[in-house]
Amino acid sequence: MARTRSSNPVFTHLRSGPPASDQLTWPPSAQGTPPGTPTPEELARAYRQPSSLTIDDVVMHTLGLFAIAGVGGAVGWYLVDSAPGLVFGAGIAAFVLSLVIRFTGRINPALVVVFGVLSGLMAGGVSRLYANDYAGIIPQAILGTAVIFVTMLLAYRSRRLRATPRMARIVGNVLLAVVIISIIDVVLRLTTGSHLPVINDATPLGILFSVVVLVIASLQFILDFDAIERMIAARAPRSDAWVCAYGLLIGFIWVYLEMLRLLSKLRR
């Protein structure tokens, strides 16, 4: 079976296993058996075929991965004050691991779980730093992220926003640029105490930068929905639910962190 190609840069190069087989057809059987009746060997082969991906598989794997990231976030929340280098090191490690996952071409559930822990550590630590300076900003950012997710889902279901290769290129390039810029900013803070103004300063340019990045980050959800829909339609194996959960986690964390950044600028 040819797999339907996704425009999502997170999913494009990933495989978790062989595709589920197309519907089996039974050849004419031996003399005395009605044509099209499967033999015991054919029934055994059909039983061994992997079942296809469903939306329930995606939901359950996503909830599980988010729970793992949540545990990592709780640890990062309590560690960042005493060991900030460890927390931000987890963020860099998560970025490196995401590159490994992408360019190996196959997704390993164990690597996805490790990525969930590392990204959760980073997000939890960053959340604590924002919470120290801005009371109530965490619930606001979570609510804002949820609103964006629901809005993008409704826009996708109503066909008002559709994934395109051009959208995928823009989102992928912006995500890579933001991660690299953020790493540079963290390194500057830890080594010199300075920072990149466009990322952190509450100037008109800084606010515009955050708004633009947040809008583009929100489009990650459209790419996620499109990829999931295509994989289900293509009868991908159930193990590909890890691919879907991985992509959704990246989208949620990106939008959440950009929401934190924008809210902090607006409250200065």
Amino acid letter for position 40: P
**Cα separation of the two ends of the chain:** 55
| Range with the poorest average pLDDT among 3-7, 70-74, 179-183, 223-227 | 3-7
Q: Is the pLDDT of residue 114 over 70?
A: yes
The secondary structure of residue 52, as a DSSP letter, is B
According to the model, what pLDDT value does residue 36 have? Answer: 53
Q: Tell whether pTM > 0.85.
A: no
Domain range summary for the chain, segments of one domain joined by +: 51-266
Q: Which residues pair with 22 in a beta bridge?
A: none
Greater model confidence, 13 or 160: 160
Q: How far apart are CA 129 and CA 89, in angstroms?
A: 15
The secondary structure of residue 237, as a DSSP letter, is B
According to the model, what pLDDT value does residue 25 have? Answer: 44
